[in-house]
Amino acid sequence: MDIFLQQIINGLVQGSVYSMVALGYTMVYGILGLINFAHGEIVMIGAMVALSVIQLLTGAGFPIFFILLISLMLSMIVCMILGYSMERIAYRPLRNAPRLAPLITAIGLSIVLQTLAMMFWGREYHSFPLLFTNDSVHIAGAVITEVQIIIITVALVMMGGLLILVHRTRLGRAMRAVAENPSAAALMGVNSNSVISITFVLGSALAAIAGIMISANYGIVHYLMGALLGLKAFTAAVLGGIGNLRGAMLGGLLLGLIESLGAGYIGDLSGGFLGSHYQDVFAFFVLIAVLIFRPSGLLGERVAERA
């Protein structure tokens, strides 16, 4: 029972990170019909920037809370600028191009960002400094660390905030209007270009936070960390129904749970033949299964093939 509970906790922690990243995919898809495969790299850059800031500031005698706040702010700002420029430079000129063109551009961007990060931060694994004490809380035999509690809380607050933003505010209304019908929205006086820019900026800010979360949880940062994480978050978005915000949140949490429960029990189930390092396989099993049995995702509407 305690293993089960432990895996549930781990799954929720991992899942909140997936959800935050999946939101970036789903927001951009919802509004442009584009899958921004470079989104995972924004997560990585967010983590790298935070790492550099923390390295610079530690030893200067600042309180930990201050260091964390500054690194969070700077990494969000860098990622927001990156997200904005990405859309402006790489995607906007291709707005009316065939759908394959922006997709390939996204893959290219992702490689460019990985390479730049490698040149700047090097190929080696960096250890992400421990910002909190390793204190943990014991619940019914399972352990949850302070960092993990913070991760889950921040993710929930961010996701709640995003839902309010999209469903209860003028800006959110404009975003939904552009997503449904860009030309009609423009004729109502909505500047669709600036709404699209804001969408990228918001998604990138969430990605920066997610990058710091996952690095703080695992204690490791690497220039390729965005690739697999991005693919999994994309899987989570598809699982929930891509284009649907609640779907991305649900999909992320479910995927985290599936992965961690799978990893926890696959050893027993296969009689020791397969180990927990098969964890990553589960995400892609889920992706394949969703694409076969429910391509519109759990919360996605069954829509006719888009032109």
Residue ranges binding other proteins (CB under 8 A): 161, 164-165, 168-174, 176-177, 180-181, 183-192, 198
Residue 186: other Cβ atoms inside 10 A? 15
Nearer to other proteins, 184 or 289 (CB): 184
Short-list 104, 105, 106, 92, CA closest to 192: 92
The crossing angle, in degrees rounded to 10, of helices 2-32 and 146-168 is: 30
Distance (Å, rounded) from C-alpha 236 to C-alpha 232? Answer: 6
Q: How far is the CB of 301 from other proteins (least distance, A)?
A: 8
Q: How far is the CB of 160 from other proteins (least distance, A)?
A: 12
Tell me which residue has tokens 């975003």.
175
Cα 38 versus chain centre, distance: 11
CA dihedral 288, 292, 293, 299 (to 10 degrees): 70
Nearer to other proteins, 92 or 173 (CB): 173
Distance (Å, rounded) from C-alpha 250 to C-alpha 268? Answer: 28
Q: How far is the CB of 106 from other proteins (least distance, A)?
A: 25
Q: How far is the CB of 148 from other proteins (least distance, A)?
A: 26
Distance (Å, rounded) from C-alpha 106 to C-alpha 25? Answer: 12
Nearer to other proteins, 5 or 171 (CB): 171
DSSP run (H or E) holding 126: strand 126-127
Nearer to other proteins, 172 or 267 (CB): 172
Short-list 69, 110, 111, CA closest to 209: 69
Nearer to other proteins, 2 or 180 (CB): 180
Q: How far is the CB of 155 from other proteins (least distance, A)?
A: 17
Nearer to other proteins, 10 or 26 (CB): 26
Q: How far is the CB of 161 from other proteins (least distance, A)?
A: 7
